[in-house]
Amino acid sequence: MANQLAMDKALAIKALAAAGRSERQIAAALSVSRKAVRRHLGRSNSKETKAPTGEAPTGSPDPKETKALTGSSETVDAPLAAVSEASTDDSAKAKSRSLCVAFQESILKKLDQGLTAQRVFQDLRDEHGFTGKYSSVRRFVRALGERRELAFRRMEVEPGYELQVDYGTGARCREENGKLRRTHVFRCVLSHSRKAYTEAVFRQTTESFVRTLENAFRVLGGVPRTVVFDNAKSAVTQADWYDPVLNPKIVEFCRHYGFAFLPTRPRTPRHKGKVERGVAYVQSNALRGRVFESLAAQNAHLQEWEKRVADTRIHGTTKRQVGEVFESVERAALGPLPRELFPCFHEGRRRVGRDGHLEVQRAYYSAPPEYLGCDVWVRWNEKTVRLLNDRFEQICLHLRKEPGRFSTHDAHIAKEKIGGVERGAAFLLGKVRLIGPQSLRWAEATLTERGIEGLRTVQGLLHLSHKHSVAELERACEAAWRNRGFSYRVVKELLKRQGAVQATLEFLDSHPVIRPVAEYGDFLRNVLQGD
């Protein structure tokens, strides 16, 4: 006698078919053959997908088409809520339920953490003493995934909140030499009203992206709070869903216009689905089959097409006219435009050389001493050159120089590299004053006597102060001043010989060793009388 399916499996086949499961899914969930599924559903053609309304037979004449349910408890691995409800035999239900059903809540939590079926099996075995096989867990997880499939969530935003941006292939246009060249079409769409701006460009550089987005802001008459774009190199230096690294020029552009730049998740174009469809709309409606004589002609056509066609259409999702929604609702919600356009500048990394300067367009500009040998960011235009650190904080500002010329700030020269002559006479005399009054008198007289040449002489005196005491310098300078020796060599020789200073004696009228003049007179008279 042929094996027969248990009553709960027969009812489960019918219940799963009514729920819309395919024959393959039912066979995998209940561990029976697809032929058995078709037989119980009363189907003769395997391509049919819907179950008939009549009762399914419960027998199976071929023993190879089904598996006995007497030994293993792992034979049914899908979540069997429908199966259990349909079963009327408690013992059969116990045999058909997978061991994984008892751990379903724990399995769901682990799947939400992103764990694989293999990891779930290992954790069940280690944490709960699971005795089943890995294949049972794998089938159970697969069935859970089929049951937990979720629809994509539509994201609608408030007016003025989001602008989605993307590029597509544009129409061909002729260059000045007459050759046809393919273009890129830039398009941005406000997510609330679907109002858009379109512009054709030749290149997708950072500068081109900034200028076209700026043109869009000016045409729309305001700035949205966020701009959503993919991870193109023109905008994103390093893609990362949690903390992307933006191009420095894009950071400055966002700061200038006051909006947030939000790259999409890598390889997830549906995060900007509104503009993805918008680019296809431009390509099929505005540009297909057209060739333009110039890039300006293509952009003029796109501007007219936006006003005449894109803005006047009834959008398929909003069921309202795009231009009317924008003018009545979204235009007033956009942020204000800044007074000035974003300044055009070039940007790059430069290394500060051993002379404390870096090169920009064959001219040289100084950097602070602490950046010697380091790389800094440089931004320049026709008038200025700005140096910035890695946090893009301005280090210093220079005026542009012609090629071959130097721009050096005095504050960028290390103190050790500034000579006393450069600092001037007042600085040198201030240093000499610390030695003593005789040295200062000699230094002042030297500058008066020798002029500019005396600056180095005074600097030489300061150099001698590192080798000789203050008392020695004072004596040497006093002797040199009395003898008008305003030379570095004179002071150096006096210090070497340690020569004594010749004292100038004053004539005294009285002193213990000096006899009065009257005594000399009496002495002379006595001598003359004795003769």
Domain match, 184 and 121 both: no
What pLDDT, in 10s, does the model give residues 171-208? Answer: 999 988 889 999 999 999 999 999 999 999 999 999 89
Domain match, 292 and 353 both: no
Q: What pLDDT is stored for residue 104 in this prediction?
A: 87
Domain match, 250 and 175 both: yes
Q: Is 83 among the domain residues? A: yes
Domain match, 237 and 182 both: yes
**Mean pLDDT (whole number) for 61-81:** 39
3-state secondary structure 155-215: CCCCCCCEEEEEEEEEEEEECCCCCEEEEEEEEEEECCCCCEEEEEECCCCHHHHHHHHHH
Q: Is 390 among the domain residues? A: yes
Burial of 108 (0-12, 13-18, 19+ CB in 10 A): middle
Q: Is 306 among the domain residues? A: yes
Residue 268 above 60 pLDDT?
Answer: yes
Domain finish residue from 333, 364, 391: 333
Domain match, 94 and 171 both: no
Question: What is the Cα–Cα distance from 101 to 80, expressed in whole angstroms?
Answer: 8
Question: What is the Cα–Cα distance from 434 to 429, expressed in whole angstroms?
Answer: 9
Domain match, 360 and 278 both: no
Q: What is the pTM of this model?
A: 0.51
CATH number of the domain enclosing 404: 2.40.50
Domain match, 194 and 140 both: no
Over the chain, what is the mean pLDDT?
81
Domain match, 139 and 181 both: no
Burial of 509 (0-12, 13-18, 19+ CB in 10 A): exposed
Low-confidence winner among 191-200, 288-297, 416-425, 448-457 (lowest mean pLDDT): 416-425
**Mean pLDDT (whole number) for 2-8:** 63
DSSP 335: B
What pLDDT, in 10s, does the model give residues 475-525? Answer: 889 888 888 888 888 888 888 876 444 445 565 666 676 767 677 677 767
Q: Is 156 among the domain residues? A: no
How many independent structural domains does the chain possess? 4
Domain match, 366 and 449 both: no
Domain match, 462 and 503 both: yes
Domain match, 47 and 78 both: yes
Domain finish residue from 279, 309, 333: 333
Q: Is 522 among the domain residues? A: yes
What pLDDT, in 10s, does the model give residues 252-263? Answer: 899 999 999 999
Domain match, 371 and 437 both: no
Nearest to 361 by CA among 343, 337, 334, 379: 379
Token pair for residue 518? 């009257």
Q: Is 1 among the domain residues? A: no
Considering the chain, what percentage of its residues have pLDDT values greater than 70?
80
Domain finish residue from 301, 333, 365: 333
Q: Are 182 and 172 in contact (CB under 8 A)?
A: yes
Its domain, for residue 457, covers: 427-531
Radius of gyration of the chain (CA): 48
Residue 300 above 90 pLDDT?
Answer: yes
**Backbone conformation region of residue 330, classed left if phi is above 0, alpha if psi is from -120 to 50, else beta:** alpha
Q: Is 153 among the domain residues? A: no
Q: Is 431 among the domain residues? A: yes
